[in-house]
Structure formats: structure tokens, C-alpha cells
């Protein structure tokens, strides 16, 4: 039995999921779909692979994601045509931004083909879709031009420090920071902008890199964002003492480079914005642990095998792949998506901050891993 369990793709069974019911009465897509707490649907994160070439401890720790780990077979992944079909339906309900994630999305073969397909879609109001991608930057130097030519508008690069020894410790595959910096330079050169740089901060591990990172990217066109170490999934060994509160992080930078707060431009932004008082740019802080922002969360997440998750901290998915590969029309699938979002009440971070429970309305079970649905 143990050998059989190693052969079967366990990711298909790891998280609770159900096939969404298709209501008898169709829900017409109006571009104004809201959940049970009045939050609109504006942002769709699509994971295109569950694989990554880094083993960052906060996402894919090497003791879990090792040579014996069983990834999804190709047949389980959504095809580019299936992804585009779903994207079209989500856009009709109000999605204006699509972010491709992973794993590491640049590991997905022919990702440029998918980008080209998505780039041709228009929002419900007829505007160009905001199409972006998050990457660890390891393959970006060679891919930047082809991504831009395919229709990608901008990228977000994960970079957890500038010191090479610290960076190699964080990625846990001995990958040099210089190669990621080359990828960032290539992205800037081809116009994948405005570029965002994300740094996950683990207290006592890479927090000494905060000010050097601020120094490196101030005065550039890139926006540096600091992310509190979050309790996503079950495998990253999260502890509260490893969280450096964003308020303390801002104090560290402000002591060297004075900052002033900036009003967020649009509802649903994850980052609180700050700008340098001398006009040399801005930074952001994403404070899911200490300052929850569930109240205006407008993001849905689609796993690489087509499960819809309504929260980064969810443990229950809604299997849209089953509908895609069944005899269901676009209208039926669209109605199922609408009903699923209309019933959404997830606000894990707020409930965690309040110390109340249960933290999810959908029961109990292991929370989904970040590598499975993207950040």
C-alpha cells in the first residue's frame, strides 16, 4: 500500500474539494459579481505549474519537496485552452487582472503561448487585461524578451536578499543572487514595467537585508515590497517569533531613509504604500499577519489542476476542471463560478488576528500550500 501511495499523484487528493453545483437558474455575467461580504471579483491568480527550481523554506522546504515528492502528471494540469476558457468566464464576472504564478511559472513549457492567448482577452468594459507574472527570476534573463513579445505587461520578481550567502540560504539550491539581478535588468530593458520586487522577511534569517534592499532599489523605477512571513500551508514551519511586523520594518528603513505614507490607489491592494520623503521612489509592505486586509480582498486563485480557491489560507477547493472536461456549456460553468463567489465568506487573516475561530467557514483540514496556488 505504501508503494501504491507513492505512485498515485497525491496532490490530486491532498486538499478537500468538491465539484461546484450548477444552479437551475443561470446567473448572467454583468461584470459586477460580489461575494457574501460585498467584495467584488477583480483579480485572478492562475498557477500554471506545481514545480519550482528553488526550495525556499517559507514555500517549498526541501525536507518535504525532495526527490521522493510526487508532482502532478501532465494530464492533470489545465491545458492552455482550458485556462483561457476559464479566464474568459472570470473576466465576464469582473476580473480585470490576471497574474500567472506557480511554483515557478517560467518552468511551464511554452508559457509564451498561454500569455499570447490571454493577452487577446478584454475586460468587461473593453479595456486591455492587466496581465502579469510572478517569478523567482532564475530564468528571466533569457525569457524577458519573449515574454514581452507575447503580450506580458509586467513582472514581479521574488528576491529575499542581496547578500549572496543569505540569498543562497533562502533559496536552498545554492542559486546565486547575481543571476536574479541579471533577470531584473533584462525585464527592465524590455519594458516589463512597472517592475515589482517582493522580499519575504523571516526574522533572524534575512531581516538584516531590509535596509540594503531599500538602498539598492530606491531611485529606480522598481517598487520594492516587503512581505511578512505568513502561515500559508502546513509545511513551512511558521512561528510567530519569525514574523517581523511591518511596523518595525518601516521604522528600520525610516531611520535611514525617511518615509511618508501614501494613500492606496485602488481598493483591494495588498500592500500599504510608503514613499521616500526625498522623492526617490516608494516601497510597500504586505502585512497579512499583523494588519489583515481581508475586508476588501477581491482575489480568487486557480490551481494548476483547475481547483478554485477563495483564500490564500483555504483548505477546500472547487473543482472547475471537472466541469471543463464534462459536457457543460460556458453558461453553466459561468453560473457555477458566480454561485461559488457569491457564497464566499473567507476572511482567515482577520479571524486569526482577532483570535477567534473557526478561521474558515468551509470546515477543517490541511491548508493549501503556496506552491500549489501561488502567492
- Name residue, grid cell 509592505: 285
pLDDT tens figures, 196-223: 999 999 999 999 999 999 999 999 999 9
Q: Do 41 and 95 form a contact (C-beta atoms < 8 A)?
A: yes
- For the chain, the domain total comes to 1
Task: In whole angstroms, give the CA distance from residue 213 to residue 290.
Answer: 22
Pairing verdict, β 282-286 and 272-276:
antiparallel
Residue 221 has what pLDDT?
A: 92
Question: Model confidence at 373, in pLDDT bands (50, 70, 90)?
Answer: confident
Reduced to 3 states, what is the DSSP secondary structure of residue 301?
Answer: strand
Query: What residues contact 193, with CB distance under 8 A and at least 6 apart?
Result: 154, 187, 221
- The chain-wide mean pLDDT, for the chain, equals 89
Rounded distance between C-alpha atoms, residue 344 and residue 301, angstroms:
13
Q: Residues 125-136: pLDDT tens digits?
A: 999 999 999 999
pLDDT of residue 6: 31
Q: What angle do CA 277, 280, 281 make, to 5 degrees?
A: 95
Percent of the chain with pLDDT over 70: 90
CATH value at residue 68: 3.20.20.70
Q: Tell me the residue range of the domain where 67 lies.
A: 2-373
Give the pTM: 0.90
**Grid-cell match 490530486, residue found:** 12
Residue bearing cell 534569517? 205
Amino acid at each position: 500500500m505504501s508503494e501504491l501511495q507513492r505512485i498515485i499523484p497525491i496532490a490530486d487528493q491532498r486538499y478537500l474539494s468538491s465539484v461546484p453545483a450548477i444552479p437551475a437558474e443561470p446567473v448572467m455575467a454583468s461584470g459586477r459579481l460580489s461575494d457574501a461580504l460585498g467584495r467584488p471579483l477583480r483579480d485572478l491568480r492562475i498557477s500554471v505549474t506545481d514545480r519550482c527550481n528553488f526550495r525556499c523554506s517559507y514555500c517549498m522546504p526541501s525536507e518535504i519537496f525532495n526527490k521522493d515528492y510526487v508532482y502532478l502528471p501532465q494530464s492533470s494540469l489545465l491545458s492552455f485552452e482550458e485556462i483561457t476558457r476559464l479566464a474568459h468566464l472570470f473576466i465576464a464576472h469582473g476580473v480585470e487582472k490576471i497574474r500567472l504564478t506557480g511554483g515557478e511559472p517560467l518552468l511551464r513549457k511554452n508559457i509564451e503561448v498561454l500569455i499570447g492567448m490571454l493577452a487577446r482577452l478584454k475586460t468587461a468594459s473593453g479595456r486591455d487585461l492587466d496581465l502579469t507574472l510572478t517569478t523567482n527570476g532564475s530564468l528571466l534573463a533569457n525569457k524577458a524578451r519573449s515574454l514581452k513579445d507575447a503580450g506580458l505587461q509586467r513582472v514581479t520578481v521574488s528576491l529575499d536578499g542581496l547578500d549572496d550567502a543569505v540569498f543562497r540560504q533562502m533559496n536552498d539550491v545554492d542559486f546565486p543572487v547575481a543571476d536574479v539581478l541579471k533577470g531584473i535588468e533584462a525585464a527592465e530593458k524590455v519594458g516589463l514595467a512597472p517592475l515589482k520586487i517582493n522580499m519575504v522577511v523571516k526574522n533572524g534569517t534575512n531581516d538584516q537585508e531590509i535596509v540594503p534592499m531599500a538602498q539598492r532599489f530606491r531611485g529606480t523605477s522598481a517598487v520594492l515590497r516587503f512581505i511578512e512571513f505568513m502561515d500559508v500551508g502546513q509545511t513551512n514551519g511558521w512561528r510567530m517569533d519569525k514574523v517581523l511586523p511591518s511596523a518595525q520594518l518601516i521604522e528600520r528603513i525610516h531611520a535611514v531613509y525617511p518615509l511618508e505614507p501614501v494613500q492606496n490607489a485602488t481598493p483591494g491592494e495588498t500592500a500599504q504604500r510608503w514613499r521616500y520623503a526625498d522623492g526617490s521612489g516608494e516601497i510597500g509592505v504586505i502585512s497579512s499577519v499583523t494588519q489583515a486586509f481581508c475586508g476588501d480582498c477581491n482575489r480568487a486563485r486557480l490551481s494548476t489542476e483547475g481547483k478554485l480557491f477563495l483564500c490564500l489560507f483555504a483548505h477546500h477547493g472547487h473543482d472547475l476542471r471537472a466541469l471543463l472536461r464534462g459536457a457543460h456549456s460556458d453558461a453553466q460553468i459561468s453560473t457555477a463560478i458566480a454561485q461559488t463567489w457569491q457564497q464566499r465568506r473567507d476572511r482567515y487573516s482577520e479571524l486569526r488576528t482577532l483570535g477567534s475561530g473557526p478561521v474558515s467557514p468551509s470546515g477543517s483540514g490541511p491548508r493549501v500550500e503556496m506552491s500549489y496556488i501561488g502567492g
